[in-house]
Homo-oligomer: A and B are copies of this chain.
Amino acid sequence: MPPRPPTSPKSAAPKPAAPTRSPQPDMPAEPTQAGRFEQARRVQSMALLEDYAELIADLHATAGEARATDIARRLGVTHATAIKAITRLKREGLATARPYRGVFLTEEGEHLAARVKTRHRLVVDVLRAIGVPAEAAEQDAEGIEHHVSDITLAAFARFLANARTT
């Protein structure tokens, strides 16, 4: 291993950006890159709960009940997986379940489901308004929606309102 020619210490370029740690030891408001990744990871951990909550609400609305097996089929996973997820929903206080009778959302769960549903529609509508084909809009929205913050959501709503009156 050629002992790497005595290039200047620490590569040629200066550290591009203060890595979350500025001279001031105080809490940086973290608008940093690492902060964004962390946030994206946090959001990801909510995604599954959101999907389940939305689906359960939908099943209740359209079929009158939401049994674990139905949920599993709709999501394309095995029932074991669905049941584990439902267990997590219960643990998080978003749902309750009565065996063979179905899964029920708590008040908090209903609230979440409603928010998710609204957000989903908004995302799809915005994509469509931008010119994304229906098929792709539905598909991509499924993944995108979880990452749309309230601020962005508000912007979406304004955009659509504008577009409609234009």
Contact = CB atoms under 8 A, between A and B. Distances in A.
A8 B13 CA distance: 63
Q: What number of copies of this chain does the assembly contain?
A: 2
Interface string A57-88: 01100111101011001111110000000000
B156 A40 contact: no
Interface string A104-120: 00000000000000000
Contacts of A144: 144, 147-148
A59 B17 CA distance: 11
Nearest to A73: B19
Contacts of A133: 151, 155
Interface of A: 1, 4, 7, 10-16, 19-20, 31, 33-40, 43-44, 51, 58-59, 62-65, 67, 69-70, 73-78, 100-101, 126-127, 130-133, 135-140, 142-144, 146-149, 151-152, 155-156, 158-159
20 contacts: A10-B67, A10-B69, A10-B70, A11-B64, A16-B59, A16-B63, A19-B74, A20-B76, A31-B135, A37-B75, A37-B77, A44-B143, A130-B155, A130-B156, A132-B151, A136-B155, A139-B149, A140-B152, A143-B146, A143-B147
